Amino acid sequence: MAVLTGKNVLKPYIKKTTGYIKSLLSSQHVEMDNGKTLQFTIDEISNILTNKFSYKQIGNTVLKFESGVLMQ
């Protein structure tokens, strides 16, 4: 079972008196079900992941921290 069987490309056009023009969408103009914009939601997820996971390099050793706790 495939999660995604095809790819649809959305090319929104706006009808003007002179013809159709292509409309450009951005993540700031897409509204999610909870009323927040797509850009706000992406930023929120990024902040959560950045605060939850961090890596510090000491010499050749890379230490992984999760919520401030050193993971082995």
pLDDT mean across residues, the chain: 76
Distance (Å, whole) CA 37 – CA 67: 27
Predicted confidence (pLDDT) at residue 5 exceeds the cutoff of 60: no
Identify the pLDDT of residue 12. 74
Query: Following DSSP, what letter does each residue of 4-32 receive, concatenated?
Result: ----PPP--EEEETTEEEEPPP-TTSPBP
pLDDT tens-digit readout, 17-55: 888 887 767 777 778 888 888 889 899 998 888 878 777
Distance (Å, whole) CA 5 – CA 58: 45
Could you tell me the residue ranges of all domains in the chain? 11-45
Q: What element of type H or E holds 38? A: helix 38-52
- Quote the pTM value: 0.48
Name which residue leads in pLDDT, 12 or 6: 12
Identify the pLDDT of residue 7. 53
